[in-house]
Amino acid sequence: MITTDICIIGAGPVGLFAVFEAGLLKMRCHLIDALPVVGGQLAEIYPQKPIYDIPGAPGIIAEDLVKNLLIQIEEFKPGFTLGERVESLDKQDDGSYIVRTNEGTVVHCQVVVIAAGLGSFEPRKPAVDKLEYFEGKGVHYMVKKPEQFRNQNVVLAGGGDSALDWTIFLADIASRVTLVHRGDTFRGAPDSAEKVFELAGKGKIDLILQSQVSSLGGNGVLKEISIVGNDKSVTTIPTDHFIPLFGLSPKLGPIANWNLGVEKSAIIVDTVDYSTNVERIYAIGDINTYPGKLKLILCGFHEAAIMMQSAFKYVYPDQKLSFKYTTVNGVNAF
Amino acid sequence: MVNIQVEDNNGDRRELEVIVDMGLNLMEMLKAYEYDIQATCGGMGLCATCHISVLEGGEGLPAQNDNELDTLDALPDAEPNSRLACQLRCNDDLNGMVIRLKALQEA
* pLDDT of amino acid B1: 85
Q: For residue B40, give the nearest of A159, A246, A250 by CB distance.
A: A250
Determine how β-strand A206-208 pairs with β-strand A211-217.
unpaired
pLDDT at A248: 85
Regions of chain A where pLDDT drops below 70: none
pLDDT band at B105 (very low <50, low <70, confident <90, very high): low
pLDDT of residue A187: 77
Q: Which residue of A has its CA nearest to B67?
A: A187
- Residues A237 and A216: their CA atoms lie apart, in Å, by 10
In this prediction the pTM is 0.83
Q: Which residues in A124-246 belong to E strands, given as ranges?
A: 153-157, 176-180, 206-208, 211-217, 224-229, 234-238, 241-244
Stretch (H or E) spanning A114: strand A111-114
Handedness of CA B57, B62, B63, B68 (dihedral sign): negative
Residue of chain A whose alpha carbon sits nearest to that of B103 = A249
Mean pLDDT of chain B: 89
**Would you tell me which residues 1-30 of chain B have a C-beta closer than 8 angstroms to some C-beta of chain A?**
none
Cβ-contact A122, A132 below 8 angstroms: no
DSSP A324: -
Rounded CA separation A327/A23 (Å): 15
Best of B9, B35, B40 to disrupt the A interface (most A CBs within 10 Å) is B40
Instruction: List, for residues B53-92, the tens digit of each pLDDT value.
Output: 999 999 999 999 888 988 888 888 888 899 999 999 999 9
Residue A211: exposure state from Cβ atoms within 10 A (0-12, 13-18, ≥19):
buried
Query: How long a stretch of residues is chain B?
Result: 107
A129 burial class (0-12, 13-18, 19+ CB within 10 angstroms)?
A: exposed
Chain centre to alpha carbon of residue A99: 17
DSSP A45-111: T-TT-EE--STT-TTEEHHHHHHHHHHHHGGG--EEEES--EEEEEE-TTS-EEEEETT--EEEESE
Half-sphere exposure of B14 (CA within 13 A, CB side): 11
The CA distance from A187 to the nearest CA of chain B, in Å, is 6
Q: Compute the nearest-CA separation of A51 from chain B (Å).
A: 12
Residue percentage of chain B with pLDDT more than 70 = 96
- Give every strand in the sheet of B98-101, ordered side by side: B13-18, B2-7, B98-101, B51-56, B82-84
The residues spanned by each domain of chain B are 2-101
Q: Which residues pair with A176 in a beta bridge?
A: A153
Closest CA to A25 of A327, A274, A299, A321: A321
Do B77 and A127 count as a contact with CB atoms less than 8 A apart?
Answer: yes
Neighbours of A287 (CB within 10 A): 27
Residues A237 and A153: their CA atoms lie apart, in Å, by 10
ipTM for the complex shown = 0.72
Q: Does A244 sit within 8 Å of B76, measured CB to CB? A: yes
Structural element, H or E, at residue A161? helix A161-171
| B78 reaches A (C-beta below 8 A) | yes
Phi-psi region of A47 (alpha: psi -120 to 50; beta: other; left: phi over 0): alpha
Bridge partner residues of A9 (DSSP): A32, A114
Which class does domain B2-101 fall in? Answer: alpha beta
Q: Residue B107 pLDDT > 50, yes or no? A: no
Chain B hits for A186, CB-CB cut-off 8 Å, are 73
CA distance A305 to chain B (A): 24
Q: Would an 8 Å CB–CB cutoff place B46 in contact with chain A?
A: yes
* DSSP, residue by residue, B40-66: TTSSSS-S-TTEEEEEE--TTSPPP-H
Residues of A in contact with B41 (CB under 8 A): 41, 45-46
- Report angle CA A116, A106, A147 to the nearest 5 degrees: 85
Q: How far apart are CA B92 and CA A145, in angstroms?
A: 52
